[in-house]
Every structure is written in C-alpha cells, then in structure tokens.
C-alpha cells in the first residue's frame, strides 16, 4: 500500500501548505485550493482502485517480462453449466491450458464442473466466494472470511488450496489489501481485458483482443458468455498462426498455484 500512503501523505502536506499560506498571506485561495486538492486526490484514488495494474494498494502480476512469443489465457466468474463445459471442450480440442478464477458460490452449486476443470489440468484461482456488488465495501475481516470460504469450498471439491487471487471486478482498496496479505495470496491481474461480458459480436471481439497480443500477455476472458464460446477457437487459431504458444498462467508468470 506504499502508493496509497504516499498519496495520502502528499494530500495532507498540500492541505497543511494551503493552511500556512492562508495564515501568512491570504485566505482567499483556501477554499478553491481545498476543492482542487480534493478533486485531484479523488481522481488518483479512483485510478488506483479501478486500475489493478497500478499496484496502488497491492502488487498485481499482470504480464510476463519475456520476448518469447508466449501468452496465457484466463477465465473469470465460473464455473457455470451454460458455458464452462463448452469452454473446456474447446480448450481440450485445441490442447490449451488456462487458468480459471472461480467464484465460491458457483463452486458450491457446481462442484462437478470445478472437478472437470481441475481434471483437465487447468489452474484454479480464487475470485472470492460471493463476488457481490457490495464486496468492495466490506471490512477487511469480512473480506478475509470471504476469500477463505472460497478456498475452503475449493479444497473440499478438488483437494487443493489456491494461492492465486484475482479481485472481483479488478477493484482493490486498503481493506482488500489487508485481506490479501493476511491470506498469503499472490494477486494476478491481466494485460489484455477482452471486455467479452459486454461484447455481442464475436468478430469484433476477436479483432480487438488480437490487436493487443504481445509476448508475455495475460488475457482476461469469462466462461459466462456465449460470445466467448464462439470467439475462443478463432482466437486460439489466430494467435497460433501468429507463432504464439499459449502456456499455463502459473508457468509464464513463474508462480506456485497452490499451497
């Protein structure tokens, strides 16, 4: 949380300087200056919270530092019976390994799907238990409990305890940073966000993602949408045609996936 602390320190120093200027000179600039400090601070905090690769609150590993034509692909928000089996079928046919950052409540409902993902040799990551829309407002203690609950149901389903964590929505804050540290997780982000959850045209989705591919990239997909199922085999064929190998996430990032 070094960047967060530095930002808060800088904002406090700016406010103190503004007060000292008012005492020694004039107060006419105090309120405009305070508003400006507030706006700048808000923009910086917003950026740090919503851009996972900023490392503002917690370091996130989002790509591999390599010149080799290798990439990794990952899927968030499953497992779900509508699309996860189709994704698995495509990956098996194309002989591709991926990482699945799963939601605990889905694991409880569909443990057989998690087992299928695991049996096929894909890596399982922690994507929280609840993935609720108010997750970011939880206390550090409740966040920690949520993450541990996801690990517990995963361990019960497939006998492994994930070490890799991807924040819901990619949003971080001081409470989550504390929960991550306490849990001993390694935070994994992405360098290519496909935006497949809002895409409707597979060809446009394919073109957008392919245009961002470069050595060491980590691609974020979701095993929750029909357009991803349609686009995925085309994407795999296209990147292989460009001379790229799709390698397991934990190998390209040199990470231990399980405790």
The percentage of the chain sitting over the pLDDT mark of 70, rounded to a whole number, equals 99
The residues that bridge with 245 in the sheet, in sequence order, are 70
Establish if 259 belongs to a structural domain.
no
The average pLDDT across 177-198 equals 97
Q: How far apart are CA 147 and CA 12, in angstroms?
A: 33
Residue in this structure with the two tokens 């079928």, named with its chain if needed = 89
Clarify whether residues 84 and 65 are in a common domain.
yes
DSSP states of 104-133: HHHHHH-HHHHHHHHHTT-EEEE--S---T
Q: How far apart are CA 154 and CA 162, in angstroms?
A: 8
Clarify whether residues 110 and 180 are in a common domain.
yes
Contact between 43 and 28 under an 8 Å Cβ cutoff? The reply is: no
20, two tokens: 């000292």
Residue 133 has pLDDT above 90, yes or no: no
Q: Which band of pLDDT confidence, cut at 50, 70 and 90, is reported for residue 1?
A: low
Q: How far apart are CA 200 and CA 197, in angstroms?
A: 8
Establish if 44 belongs to a structural domain.
yes
The average pLDDT across 88-107 equals 98
Residue 47 has pLDDT above 90, yes or no: no
Clarify whether residues 46 and 159 are in a common domain.
no
Residue 54, SS3?
A: helix
- pTM for the model stands at 0.91
Lowest-confidence segment of 31-40, 205-214, 243-252 by average pLDDT:
31-40
Clarify whether residues 164 and 219 are in a common domain.
yes
pLDDT the model gives residue 178: 96
- pLDDT digits 0-9 by tens, 102-130: 999 999 999 999 999 999 999 999 999 99
CATH of residue 191: 3.20.20.370
pLDDT the model gives residue 145: 98
CB atoms within 10 A of CB 56: 25
Clarify whether residues 92 and 162 are in a common domain.
yes
Clarify whether residues 11 and 135 are in a common domain.
no
Clarify whether residues 196 and 100 are in a common domain.
yes
pLDDT the model gives residue 4: 82
Establish if 257 belongs to a structural domain.
no
Residue in this structure with the two tokens 């968030």, named with its chain if needed = 76
Residue 2 has pLDDT above 80, yes or no: no
Clarify whether residues 201 and 145 are in a common domain.
yes
| Owning domain of residue 121 | 60-252
- Residues noted as catalytic: 76, 222
Establish if 241 belongs to a structural domain.
yes
245, 240, 253, 189: which is closest to 219 by C-alpha?
189
Q: Quick one: residue 170, left, alpha or beta (phi over 0 = left, psi -120 to 50 = alpha)?
A: left
- pLDDT digits 0-9 by tens, 143-184: 999 999 999 999 999 999 999 999 999 999 999 999 999 999
Buried b / exposed e over 197-211, threshold 16 CB at 10 Å, is: eebeebeebbebbee
The average pLDDT across 73-81 equals 97
- The total of structural domains in the chain comes to 2
**What is the average pLDDT value for the chain, to the nearest integer?**
95
Contact between 236 and 213 under an 8 Å Cβ cutoff? The reply is: no
Q: How far apart are CA 201 and CA 185, in angstroms?
A: 35
Q: How far apart are CA 140 and CA 174, in angstroms?
A: 8
125, 130, 189: which is closest to 162 by C-alpha?
125
Instruction: Give the rounded distance of the alpha carbon of 222 from its chain centre.
Output: 11
User: Which of 50, 71, 86 delimits the end of a domain?
Assistant: 50
Omega before 142 cis (within 30°)? no
Q: How far apart are CA 165 and CA 190, in angstroms?
A: 12
């Amino acid at each position: 949380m070094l960047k967060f602390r530095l930002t808060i320190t800088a904002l406090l120093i700016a406010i103190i300087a503004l007060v000292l200027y008012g005492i020694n000179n004039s107060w006419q600039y105090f309120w405009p200056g305070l508003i400006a400090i507030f706006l700048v601070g808000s923009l910086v905090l917003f950026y740090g919270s919503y851009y996972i690769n900023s490392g503002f609150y917690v370091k996130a590993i989002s790509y591999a530092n390599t010149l080799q034509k290798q990439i990794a692909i990952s899927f968030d928000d499953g497992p779900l019976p509508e699309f996860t089996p189709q994704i698995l079928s495509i990956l098996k046919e194309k002989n591709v390994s991926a990482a699945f950052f799963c939601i605990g409540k889905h694991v409880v409902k569909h443990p057989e799907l998690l087992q299928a993902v695991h049996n096929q040799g894909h890596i399982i990551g922690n994507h929280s238990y609840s993935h609720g829309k108010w997750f970011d407002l939880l206390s550090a203690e409740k966040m920690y409990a949520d993450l541990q609950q996801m690990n517990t149901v995963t361990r019960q389903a497939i006998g492994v305890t994930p070490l890799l964590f991807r924040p819901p929505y990619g949003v971080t804050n001081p409470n989550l940073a504390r929960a991550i540290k306490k849990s001993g997780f390694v935070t994994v982000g992405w360098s290519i966000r496909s935006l497949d959850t809002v895409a409707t045209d597979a060809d446009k989705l394919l073109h957008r993602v392919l245009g961002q591919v470069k050595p060491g990239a980590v691609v974020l997909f979701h095993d929750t949408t029909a357009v991803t199922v349609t686009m995925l085999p085309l994407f795999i064929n296209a990147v292989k045609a460009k001379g790229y190998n799709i390698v397991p996430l934990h190998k390209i990032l040199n990470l231990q996936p399980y405790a």
